[in-house]
Amino acid sequence: MTLDEKLELHRLFWRGECPRPLLGFFFAESEKPRPAAPGRYTNVDIDTPLEGVLDKYTRRRRWQEPGDRVPAVALNYGTSFLPVLAGAGYEHDGYTSWCVPVGVSAEELEVPGLDRDLPLWRDYERKLRALVEAGIEDALVTVDAMSGPMEMLLGVLGAERLLLDMFDAPEAVRQRARECTALWKQVFDAKWDILGRPHGTVGFGVYVPGRSCLHTEDAMALAGAEQFEQFFREPVREIARYLETSFIHTHSAGIRCYPGLATVEELDGVEISNDPNGPPLGALIEAGVRFQEAGKNVMFSNWLRPLTERQVDDILDAVDPGRTLITLTVKDQAEADHYMRKVRERFGDG
């Protein structure tokens, strides 16, 4: 399919009118298709010079995404980028980034607004502007996935301190979460303006129409239903209200939060990451169906956790095909083609 054809399928997906479930694929490490040019640059773009970033994203021609996922260019400063803007310490290697907690409590913490003179931000902005101006035509230049307010607090305070403060200083946690939400909005607005206020964004291969962004809440994996209501509902709802189309990434370890998340009316879509040590697939299918019954689209992500054909059938048997995107880990292109044929034969060749 062309890029425009994929975009139209995803527009139907968000309207709940897609003729079939959409499929995307991850390849087992040893079977990944090799890019046209050898990979010379790290996954994280922090230490990659500007010319290297341009080479990485414009001349490697890596945009032939298998299946229905939309090819996209998102500058990658790692999952710790927003927590760092909120005050966390920062370390990174070529593959990822991680936070260093600042060693204070939620009551002592001061969350700043966006400092556009911060060297890390200036470097990010310079590279993103260069990508926008590079004239990429076979992929969408987009907002990268943005850590949500509670995930930002997790990076700044550390897991132990955050969990203790949820019990010992709950109002301070809620206030810091509100401040992180305000910072989140400032960062999103800055990125959106750099991108030229496009007609949509891409998150994990999903085209999200309008003023949009995939935002992540990995901290939900630490919480239960009570903590969701106390600390997560307000930030999730506030970000969902701020966007035209809202799409949240979660880990399946946060399944206890899913009943509450399904009742956030402003939220449009949920990605359920089927973690290797997470709950059984049946529980995730049930949760996904409940999200869909609440009017939300669902992306079932099975990266690093290959499914059997019977398990794929279990998903297809249960879900609303017009509101479903499934990503599968496969061993090779032939297996990916098999699943594409399977879905098209069952639901039609949309």
Determine phi and psi for 73, rounding to 5 degrees.
Answer: -115, 120
pLDDT of the residue at 60: 54
- Which amino acid is residue 101, in one-letter code? P
Residues 325-335 pLDDT 10s: 999 999 999 99
**Radius of gyration of the chain measured on its C-alpha atoms:** 20
Which helix (H) or strand (E) element contains residue 152?
helix 149-157
Which helix (H) or strand (E) element contains residue 249?
strand 245-251
Total domains in the chain come to 1
Q: What is the mean pLDDT of residues 246-262?
A: 97
Ordered DSSP codes for 39-52: --S-SS-SSS-HHH
Q: What is the mean pLDDT of residues 124-131?
A: 97
As a whole number of angstroms, the distance between CA 286 and CA 97 comes to: 33
Structure confidence at residue 137 as a pLDDT band (50, 70, 90)? confident
Q: What is the mean pLDDT of residues 18-27?
A: 94
Q: What is the mean pLDDT of residues 41-54?
A: 88
Asked whether the beta carbons of 235 and 180 are under 8 A apart, the reply is yes
pLDDT of the residue at 37: 39
Determine phi and psi for 216, rounding to 5 degrees.
Answer: -115, 145
- Measured between alpha carbons, how far is residue 287 from residues 100, 248, 251, 299, 319 in Å? 33, 15, 12, 12, 10
Ordered DSSP codes for 11-44: HHHHTT--SS-EEEEEE-GGGPPPPSS---S-SS
Structural domain including 93 reads 3-347
- CATH classification at residue 173: 3.20.20.210
Q: Percent of the chain scored above 70 by pLDDT?
A: 94
pLDDT of the residue at 63: 54
Query: Over the range 109-146, which residues count as b (16 or more CB within 10 Å of their CB) and which as e?
Result: bebeebeeeeeebeebeebbebbbeeebeebbbbbbbb
Q: The whole model's pTM is what?
A: 0.94
Asked whether the beta carbons of 267 and 296 are under 8 A apart, the reply is yes
pLDDT of the residue at 226: 97
Contacts of 164 (CB under 8 A, 6+ apart): none
Asked whether the beta carbons of 275 and 253 are under 8 A apart, the reply is yes
Query: Rounded to the nearest 10 degrees, what angle do helices 170-194 and 233-242 cross at?
Result: 20
- Which amino acid is residue 23, in one-letter code? L
Asked whether the beta carbons of 180 and 238 are under 8 A apart, the reply is no
Q: What is the mean pLDDT of residues 281-310?
A: 95
* 334 burial via Cβ count (<10 Å: 0-12, 13-18, 19+): exposed
pLDDT tops 60 at residue 110: yes
